[in-house]
Structure 1
C-alpha cells in the first residue's frame, strides 16, 4: 500500500456467452448497439450467489483501503488509496433502493481530509470516521462526525482516553459501542497492535478492553473483525512478512480472549491479510485477502458458530492455471553426453576395387567441398578412402582451382536458397485468417476486464455501433453479455463474481454482503458486488 513499512509489499472472471435465437439476436441488435472486443469467456466463473452492480453515469476512481457504511438505505464511502492518485479524500453516497445505481458526491465546507486504512461506521443519524493514514507513514487518531441531514463534518475533541495514532486496524459495531482491534501505531511508537478498544458514542470516550494479561492474539494489522451475540471475532492479519489464519473470540461479558482452533485438514483456509469478515445469522463469512506477495485470493468460507467448524464455499481460483499446468521438474545434473561412434581403421584395397573418382551427381552431399568427393550420402561401412585416390584428388584440385571455387560458390548459394525456402514455408504455418484470430485471444481475466472497460466504461466510437443490415469494421455483429437485458429489470448482472483482491471494503445490507474496490498487483478496482447470504 502507501506506507513505506517493510512489510507492505504490494502487489478472473468472465461470463459465458450463450447462443441466442434469431429473434433474440434481432432484439438485442436493435436495443444494445455497442460492440465489445470480447466474445469468449469462461462459463465456470458463473456463480448464482454473486451479482455485479452496474453503475449509471460516471464511476468512482479505482481504489483500495477505503471504508464504507450503510445508513438509511444509502451506501456511504470515504477516501481510499490508488497507486497513481495517492491518498484520496472524496466522499460519496449511493442509493441502494434506486432503479439505477449512481454515485453522488457529497461536498462539505469542512472535511476530514485525505484518509486511507481508516474506518467509518453509522450510528443513529450520523457517520463516524476514525484514524487512518493521512500521508506517507503518518497516522492519526482523530474522530470526525458527519451529520447526514445537515451535510456537515465536525471534529471531536481528543482526550487522554484516545488510543495513539493508528491505521490499518479493523472495526465493528457492538450495541452502542465501536470496537477497534489491532492496526499499526504510527508516530513515535511505530509498532503493531493487539489492543482492543471500545468507543462510547454518547460519552466520546475510549476504553481498553483487553487489560488482563493472558492468552491473546499476536500484534498485527490488516485483520478483520465482526460481532455476533455477546462476542466479537477476529481473523487473520499480518505482522511484517508473517501472516495468520487464526480465529479468536473475545467475550464482551467476561472480557477474555478464546482461541478457536482450525481443522488441520482444511488446507484451503490460507493465511491472509486485507480480507473481510462479516456475521450473518449463526455464521461468519470470510472472503478474499492476500496470502503472499502477488497472490491475492478470491475464496469464500463460512464458520458455523454453533458447531465451531469451517466450511469452504468456493476454493481459491486465482492460480488455477498454474495448478492445471505444473512446471517441469528441474535438476542440477547435466544430461550425459552422447559419445560419437568410433570409426574403424582405414584399409587399403586393390585399385580395381576402389570407388570411382567421379561419382554420380545425385550422390553428392549438400554442402560438399568438391565435386570429386569420394564419400556418398549413406554411411556404408564398406566405403573407404585410399592414399592414391587422395593424391589424385589433390592434383586435380591444383589444376582446376578456379572450377572448384565456382562450384563451391554455387553450392553455398543453393544452400542459402533452400534455407530461405524452408523458412518461408515454416512462416506460412503461422499465418492465421482474421476469422480465426479470436480463437487465439488471451483468456487472462485481468486482460479481459481491461478490454471490456475500454469499450463499455469508456466512450465507444460511433463507427463501432451496430446497424441493421450493416456489418461493423470487424466483419461480425457481436452482442456483449454485459449489455444484455438485466434479469428481472434490476441493475445487476447475476452470476458475476469478483476476482481475487485484497484491501476491499464490505458492509451488510439486508441479506447481502456488499463488496467494493480493493486491488490486485497494485491495480485497483472500482467495482461493486452483492453476495446473497441467503444462499448459504
Structure 2
C-alpha cells in the first residue's frame, strides 16, 4: 500500500534528517577545547630528573645494542645495530666535561670489526671489548683491548678457560675482574645460558662461578646485572617466548645464588628484557626495556637494598590511556566512573621468540580479536526470534558506537588543525622540542619561502615569511649544552654508564626504529 504523502513532502523530510557527520558549527564550537589539554600533556612530559644532551656537529648513526664505557672524563662507544645498515663497527668518544658535546671518531689501523650485543668496560688505561654478534646468528668469544693513551687495538690470545661464543649477555666490572651472566650461546650449542663467569684482566683467565646446580636463575639473555658491596644483583631477561621480572642476588664470597622474594606484588616491575640496571648508593636503578611485542617501556624503578623492596619512580607512559584527550561533547558533561583494571605482574609472561637483529613478522595476539567476533563465528547456527532481535540490537549499538568514534576523530582533527592559526607569540607553547622536527621545519620554510615579504596576514609577518633558524643550530651560550626536563621515550637495547652522580643513557630502539640521542639522569633526585 502506497503512502498518500506527496513526493515533495517526502523530499523535505529527507532533507530535515541531516547527515550523521558533524556540521561546521559543531566543529567550530569545540575547536579550542583541546588546546589547554594539549598544553597540559606537553607540560606533563617534563621531568626535572632528566636532561637531553645537545650534540654539536655530526651526530652518530642511530643504533641499538651498542656498548659504552667511561674512562676519565670521556664516554667511549663501539658498534651497535641499525635496522637498515646492519651491524656497525665505528668507534667514538665524547668529552663529558666540555662546554659543547662533540662525538670524535677514533680511527685505528687494526679494529675488532662489526659488533653488537657485546660489552665494553674500562680497567686502568685500557678498554676491554668481549663477545657479541659479528654477523647474522654468528657470535664470538674474542677479547680486544684498546690502549687509550696510544689509541691502538690488540687482540688477546684465547685459551681453554674461555667460554663458548656468546652474545646478548650482561656484564659489569668488579675490582680487577669482568663479571658476566647469561646470554645466548651461538655456534653449535644454540641455547640460552645461566652461567656466571669472572674474567681476570691481569691473568687473562676465566672462572665459572656458579658451579653448583642447585638454586639458580633459569637460562636467559637480555637481562641486566649490577654489583653492590660483594653481592651481584640480576633482574629480568628472556628465554625464548618467556620474559621474567624476578630478582636474584649472588654472593661473590660464598658463590651462592639467592632468590629475593617480594611481599607486595604490586610494586614489582613488569617482566622485560633489554633494560638497564645500575647501582647507586644503596639502591638499584631500573629503566626501560621491552615487555611484549611492540611494547617498549619508559618506566623508572628503584630497589632499596636495605629494605628489600621496590619503589616506582615513574610509571610506564608508552601505553597509558590517561593521556588520551577526553571528549568535549555535551554528552560527556557528567564523567562516568572508569573501570580500572588491576594487573598482577607475573614472574613469567609468554612472548615471541628470541629477538634478533633481523626483522621478524609481527604476530597477532589473541587479545587483538574483535570483541564482537563471537557473533560472526556463530552466524550459521540456528537462532530463534529472540536471539535475532538481540543480535539486531547489538549491531545497532555497535553502529552507534562507531558513529560516535568517527565524530570524535573529526573533532580532534579539526582541533589539531586549528593549532596552525594560533598567534605567533603563543606557538612556542605547542612546539615540539624534537631535533629532527625542528630541522625539517626550518628546511621547509627556508627552501619553500625564503623571502620575508611574500606572505602577510592582518599586517603581521607570518611564520612562513620569517628567516627562522632552528634553536639547535645556534651556538651554545653560558655552557648550556643540555635540554632540562626532557626525558627519553620508551625503548630497549639502550646502553648506560655512570658518570659522577648521573646515569648516561644512549640509543636503543622502539619498533625497529633506532635512536642516537644521549640523556643524563640525575641520580640525586630519585
Whether TM exceeds 0.5 here: the answer is yes
Shift of 1:510: 0.3
Q: Which 10-residue stretch deviates more, 465-474 or 500-509?
A: 465-474
Deviations 1:455-497 (A, max 9, x none): 47x8973667797998356368989786899796320000000
* Aligned partners of 1:63 and 1:524 also within 8 Å: yes
Q: Whole-Å Cα distance in 2 between the matches of residues 531 and 429 of structure 1?
A: 38
Aligned ranges 1:339-418 → 2 under 5 Å: none
Q: Secondary structure at the match of 2:461?
A: coil
Matched, 1:461 2:446: yes
The answer for the alignment partner of 2:305 in structure 1 is 305
The answer for the alignment partner of 1:295 in structure 2 is 295
Deviations 1:52-89 (A, max 9, x none): 00000000000000000000100000000000000000
Q: Whole-Å Cα distance in 1 between the matches of residues 222 and 48 of structure 2?
A: 29
The answer for the alignment partner of 2:272 in structure 1 is 272
Q: Whole-Å Cα distance in 1 between the matches of residues 497 and 43 of structure 2?
A: 28
The answer for the alignment partner of 1:197 in structure 2 is 197
The answer for the alignment partner of 1:362 in structure 2 is none
Q: Secondary structure at the match of 1:79?
A: strand
The answer for the alignment partner of 1:56 in structure 2 is 56
Matched, 1:109 2:109: yes
Structure 1 residues 484 and 496, CA gap change in structure 2 (3 angstroms): farther
The answer for the alignment partner of 2:461 in structure 1 is 471
Shift of 1:213: 1.9
Q: Which 10-residue stretch deviates more, 75-84 or 460-469?
A: 460-469
Structure 1 residues 433 and 152, CA gap change in structure 2 (3 angstroms): closer
Q: Whole-Å Cα distance in 2 between the matches of residues 72 and 59 of structure 1?
A: 22
Deviations 1:103-151 (A, max 9, x none): 0000000000000000010000000000000000001000000001111
Structure 1 residues 252 and 88, CA gap change in structure 2 (3 angstroms): same
The answer for the alignment partner of 1:160 in structure 2 is 160
Structure 1 residues 153 and 329, CA gap change in structure 2 (3 angstroms): same
Q: Whole-Å Cα distance in 1 between the matches of residues 290 and 488 of structure 2?
A: 14
Structure 1 residues 446 and 486, CA gap change in structure 2 (3 angstroms): closer
* Aligned partners of 1:130 and 1:144 also within 8 Å: yes
TM-score after normalising by structure 2: 0.71
Shift of 1:265: 3.3
Shift of 1:261: 1.6
* Aligned partners of 2:452 and 2:465 also within 8 Å: no
Partner of residue 494 from structure 2, selected from 482, 504, 509: 504
Q: CA RMSD in A?
A: 3.8
The answer for the alignment partner of 1:236 in structure 2 is 236
Q: Secondary structure at the match of 2:486?
A: coil
The answer for the alignment partner of 1:14 in structure 2 is none
Shift of 1:434: 11
* Aligned partners of 1:268 and 1:316 also within 8 Å: no
Q: Whole-Å Cα distance in 2 between the matches of residues 231 and 59 of structure 1?
A: 38
Shift of 1:449: 6.9
Q: Whole-Å Cα distance in 2 between the matches of residues 297 and 487 of structure 1?
A: 34
* Aligned partners of 1:463 and 1:472 also within 8 Å: no
Deviations 1:244-299 (A, max 9, x none): 00111000100000111234432561000000000000010000000000000000
Matched, 1:260 2:280: no
* Aligned partners of 2:268 and 2:310 also within 8 Å: no
Structure 1 residues 126 and 245, CA gap change in structure 2 (3 angstroms): same
* Aligned partners of 1:119 and 1:170 also within 8 Å: yes
Shift of 1:227: 0.9
Shift of 1:529: 0.1
Q: Whole-Å Cα distance in 1 between the matches of residues 498 and 411 of structure 2?
A: 56
Shift of 1:212: 1.4
Q: Whole-Å Cα distance in 2 between the matches of residues 283 and 131 of structure 1?
A: 29
Structure 1 residues 57 and 262, CA gap change in structure 2 (3 angstroms): same
Matched, 1:493 2:483: yes
* Aligned partners of 2:223 and 2:275 also within 8 Å: yes
Q: Whole-Å Cα distance in 1 between the matches of residues 138 and 208 of structure 2?
A: 23
The answer for the alignment partner of 1:438 in structure 2 is 420
* Aligned partners of 2:507 and 2:516 also within 8 Å: yes
* Aligned partners of 1:503 and 1:518 also within 8 Å: yes
Matched, 1:122 2:164: no
Flag the structure with larger Rg: 1
The answer for the alignment partner of 2:521 in structure 1 is 531
Q: Whole-Å Cα distance in 2 between the matches of residues 113 and 500 of structure 1?
A: 29
Shift of 1:332: 3.0
The answer for the alignment partner of 2:510 in structure 1 is 520
Q: Whole-Å Cα distance in 2 between the matches of residues 445 and 188 of structure 1?
A: 53
The answer for the alignment partner of 1:361 in structure 2 is none
Shift of 1:241: 1.3
* Aligned partners of 1:182 and 1:193 also within 8 Å: yes
Deviations 1:130-179 (A, max 9, x none): 00000000010000000011110000000000000000000001111100
Task: Extract unaligned runs of 5+ from structure 1.
Answer: 1-16, 19-37, 341-427
* Aligned partners of 1:298 and 1:498 also within 8 Å: yes
Structure 1 residues 323 and 332, CA gap change in structure 2 (3 angstroms): farther
Task: Extract unaligned runs of 5+ from structure 2.
Answer: 1-34, 327-337, 339-367, 377-386, 393-409, 454-458
Structure 1 residues 520 and 432, CA gap change in structure 2 (3 angstroms): closer
Shift of 1:525: 0.1
Structure 1 residues 156 and 314, CA gap change in structure 2 (3 angstroms): same
Q: Whole-Å Cα distance in 2 between the matches of residues 129 and 446 of structure 1?
A: 38
Q: Whole-Å Cα distance in 1 between the matches of residues 309 and 195 of structure 2?
A: 26
Q: Whole-Å Cα distance in 1 between the matches of residues 314 and 391 of structure 2?
A: 55
Structure 1 residues 223 and 64, CA gap change in structure 2 (3 angstroms): same
Question: Which structure ranks higher in relative contact order (CA pairs < 8 Å, sequence separation ≥ 6)?
Answer: 1
Q: Secondary structure at the match of 2:440?
A: helix
